[in-house]
Structure 1
Amino acid sequence: MVSPGVRFLLQTVLPVLARPLLFGIALHHGSRFLDYALPLWATAVVASASLPTLGALSIWRKQRQHAREAAALGARLAPQPQGRWLGNLDLLRRLMWNSRYGYPTETITNWMAELGPVVNVRMFWTDAIVTSDPEHIKRVLSTDFSNYEKGPRFQNIMRSVLGTGVFNSDGDMWKFHRTITRPFFAKDRISHFEELDRNAELVITTLKSRSRGGYAVDFQDLIARFTMDSATEMLFGTCVNSLKAPVPYAHNANVFGSERPPTSDENAFIEAFSQAMEQVARREQRGLLAPLAEMWEDTTAKSMKVVSAFLDPIIAAAVERKKVADAMGGEKREAQTLLDELLNSTSDHTILKDETLNILLAGRDTTMHTLTMVMYFLCIHPAVNERLRAEVLDHVGPSRQPTYEDIKDMKYLRAVINEALRLYPPVPFNVRSSVNATTWPSPDPNEKPIYIPAGTSIPYSVLIMQRRKDLWGPDADDFDPDRFLDARVKKYLLSNAFQFLPFNAGPRICLGQQFAYNEMSFMLIRLLQSFSGFTLDEEACPPAARVPPEWKGAPGRKGIERFRPKMHLTMSTQGGLWIRVAEATD
């Protein structure tokens, strides 16, 4: 198999070099018709010198074309932050530094504060028009949906892990994947809580055990196990049982040795899938030149080999069971797993594997992050925790398993989850690619519309949008669940529903949105039935992962946060979220 780096050279670099090469050949042979034939070395020098000249000419022509097209449409080009280095390499360096060491989205947010909510972050003469404007995002996701696709660059980054699944496809392939997946997330399926309760009990048991021993617990790690076990059971009918493996101790815990999960196919699968997703996140961060970092091999290949070794037998067995059941006839049974549901539409191994992995990504990381953020806010806002617990006890009591109807009636619980999703959406950035040239309305009514060239990368930031004070009020940086219950709902949110998009919107809206709300609500109810309070243990967090002292007093949430957010494809908490719990006595 050709590596990403070699493929990049063949598809990108060789065509660029072809023009000066052809020019050199023509010059060398053409000079023979003159009185003086150019020597080969001189031809090579002239041909080499033509490369930057032709490149600069191509860039100039493209920019001039965009300016003419914008003028013809009565529009303007998107404002650009100006770099000092060739190709805006210094801007790329700043973004990379912020991604690794800074507060998520800070660099983009600063550019938008200066230039407006839409900016063209132009790197190596390639446009990336970033927006945090709800009207623009509405067009991309809904009203002009057909003009925006995932695009080849995003798909190339993800293909080695997600294949052509629902999150990594466009057109008919995307419609097919969405159609075969949708029935599984019907109402009668998402209200089944027995599987969740088994895993929730393991979470609670671990929290109690560590608490009684006087130890802090990494809630992010624990809840990641909960979401992974719940997701694999729902998708494949095979639980990886990560909650039954030992959980880590804090770096400062007085324990001998370290508990590591025992080696097993299930644990190997979890680790391999995580490593593969980390690699594709690095590809996204490296930008256009990312393939050059994988010159000799695809860095996801080894991990995906382990993933396949775990999944392939499960899928093959499910296909065989379906064949036997169809041959025997009889009454058709309701699909108990997503894999069973997909088998009603196809037995293609690749399609089954791609789609289940796509849904696994959505079902694990996003729910894990949101539950971690809710726990963080409950730790630092004890009044919110007390009020939420009172609602839980009032509706469900101290021990009864909650029902779908219980969850639907608990308005404050939904508000707490929504406020965590507003401040820290699991996917802070998403991206599309424009198919045809178009215009967007200007955020400033006194300015011309903004021109969007065809084939342009369109990143949009839900995180930046959901913290804008002009959209959410002067207290937009504050954690206040009541904003989803009081008059602010009508004043801010109902005026434009597209300014709150933790689950996306339009035809690509998250199929599992209601399932995610139910899973998160169920877990939180069970936690609040068992524990009366939660506190952060910041000393348990590894020193290198703690909030830098220079963040204190900075504008926005950066200056008050007590954990360090990390952003790749999805958000997480650097070093984990270490907490202590107080067991309930009522």
Structure 2
Amino acid sequence: MATNIEDQNLKFMHNAFIRSGQGKSNLYTFEVALMGSRTIFTADPENIRAMLATQFNDFGKGQRFRTDWFELMENSIFNIDDDAWHTSRQRLRPLFTRQRVSDLVCFERHIQAMLRTLAGGHAVDMKDILSRFALDVSADFSLGRQVDSLTSKKDDAVFEAFERIRHTQSLIERLGPLNFLVPRRKFRKDLEALNNFMGPSIEKAVSMSDVELAEIDKTDWTMDGHFFTHALASRGTFGIYVMKRCRS
């Protein structure tokens, strides 16, 4: 718990793999008993490939995961299993199979901003920079919002809420059956702040006419000032449902 509070999770897990893997053929997989439950930790590439690709259907989220992540992700594609997941995937898949050069332009703009931040030969906090980069890209690509947290502090309240949500959710996940001890009041206020930030973009997409949405669905939607929320809305009521949960 102390490592989570100090944001040292990566270092903690790396050391855990090293300690538990000494003398074993597979350094990056170990098993422990936590609160009466069998828990397997792995960073082995073959195991990860099996879970995410070759044996994907054998590894669901499970009820505990869905419960622990529900406040953040609700019933989004990242927090469901089985037929519900398959249906969501089939509806969302067309949005990610088109080749869109404009997507690369969006990413490149923020990559250049990140590189300028790294220039100068001075020490930097890479975790902070990469978190800001992730927020800037996702807000631009999904909502059409220019947060520019890498170069400006104008929306730092959003970034700080984003970071607190990430930190608290990590704590909820790691504490397992004891996560009822984690205070939720600030967490829920931060979720509300994130919803308020996304609200204008979501309402704009929802208010578009069927004709406008149909046109977006036929085109390279980011080329004409349209964004992921618009593309989701063009998929119909399911798109709107997912769009309202795009914070996940």
Q: How would you bin the TM-score normalised by the shorter chain? A: 0.7 to 0.9
**CA separation of 1:332 and 1:130: change in aligned 2, threshold 3 A:** closer
- Matched residue, 2:197: 310
5 Å-filtered alignment, 1:304-383, equals: 304-323=191-210, 325=212, 332-336=218-222, 337-347=227-237, 349-354=240-245, 356-358=246-248
Q: For residues 143-542 of structure 1, what are the structure 2 equivalents within 5 Å? A: 143-186=54-97, 188-189=99-100, 192-206=103-117, 211=120, 216-245=123-152, 261-262=153-154, 266-294=155-183, 297-323=184-210, 325=212, 332-336=218-222, 337-347=227-237, 349-354=240-245, 356-358=246-248
Q: 2:35 is paired with a residue of what secondary structure?
A: coil
Report the CA distance between 1:95 and its aligned residue: 11
Secondary structure at 1:357 match in 2: coil
Q: 1:196, 1:230 within 8 Å by CA — same for their partners in 2?
A: yes
Unaligned segments of structure 2, at least 5 residues: none
User: In the TM superposition, what is the alpha-carbon distance from 1:116 to its structure 2 partner?
Assistant: 5.7
Decide whether the 8 Å contact of 1:183 with 1:341 is kept in 2: no
Specify which of 5, 12, 16 is matched with residue 107 of structure 1.
16
Aligned residues with identical type, % of pairs = 24
- The Cα offsets for residues 198-243 of structure 1, whole Å up to 9 and x where unpaired, read as 33444455556xx3xx865545544543332222111112221223
Distance in 1 (CA, whole Å) between partners of 2:125 and 2:10 is: 22
- Report the Cα offset of residue 302 of structure 1: 0.8
Q: Does the 8 Å contact 1:181/1:341 carry over to 2?
A: no
Which residues in structure 2 correspond to 1:47-66 (within 5 Å)? Answer: none
* 8 Å CA contact 1:98, 1:104 repeated in 2: no
Contact 2:213–2:234, Cα closer than 8 Å, also in 1: no
Does the 8 A contact of 1:181 with 1:338 survive in 2?
A: no
Please give the secondary structure, in 2, of the residue aligned with 1:128: strand
Higher relative contact order (CA 8 A, sep 6+): 1
- Once residues 198 and 97 of structure 1 are traced to their aligned partners in structure 2, the CA distance between those partners, rounded to angstroms, is 32
User: Equivalents in 1 of 2:123, 2:54: separation in Å?
Assistant: 48
Gap change, CA 1:331 and 1:135, over 3 Å in 2 = closer
Going from structure 1 to structure 2, the CA distance change for 1:147 and 1:199 (only over 3 Å counts) comes to closer
For 1:97 and 1:228, how far apart are their aligned partners in 2? 21
1:230 and 1:330 mapped to 2: Cα distance?
Answer: 21
In structure 2, the CA distance between the partners of 1:97 and 1:176, relative to structure 1 (3 Å rule), is same
CA distance in 2, matches of 1:102, 1:125: 26
Residue identity in the other structure for 2:83: D
> Structure 1 stretches of 5 or more lacking a match?
1-91, 246-260, 359-586
Determine which structure has the larger helix proportion and give its number.
Answer: 2
Which has more radius of gyration? 1
Structure-2 change in CA distance of 1:128 and 1:227 (3 Å): closer
**C-alpha distance in 1, partners of 2:101/2:192?**
32
Deviation at 1:316, TM superposition (A): 1.2
Judge conservation of contact 2:216–2:231 (CA < 8 Å) in 1: no
After superposition, the Cα gap between the structure-2 partners of 1:125 and 1:193, relative to the gap in structure 1 and judged at 3 Å, is: closer
- State the AA in 2 paired with 1:339: T
Is contact 1:94-1:107 (8 Å) kept?
A: no
The amino acid that maps onto 1:287 is G
Deviations 1:375-414 (A, max 9, x none): xxxxxxxxxxxxxxxxxxxxxxxxxxxxxxxxxxxxxxxx
From the superposition, tell whether residues 283 and 224 of structure 1 become closer, same or farther in structure 2 (CA, over 3 Å): closer
Backbone CA RMSD of aligned residues = 3.7
Q: Could you say what secondary structure the match of 1:279 adopts?
A: helix
Q: Relative to structure 1, is the Cα distance of residues 193 and 124 closer, same or farther in structure 2, using a 3 angstrom cutoff?
A: closer
Aligned partner of 1:162: which letter? M
Residue identity opposite 2:21 in structure 1: M
- Pick closer, same or farther for the CA change 1:277–1:350 going to 2, 3 Å: farther
> Which residues in structure 2 correspond to 1:14-53 (within 5 Å)?
none
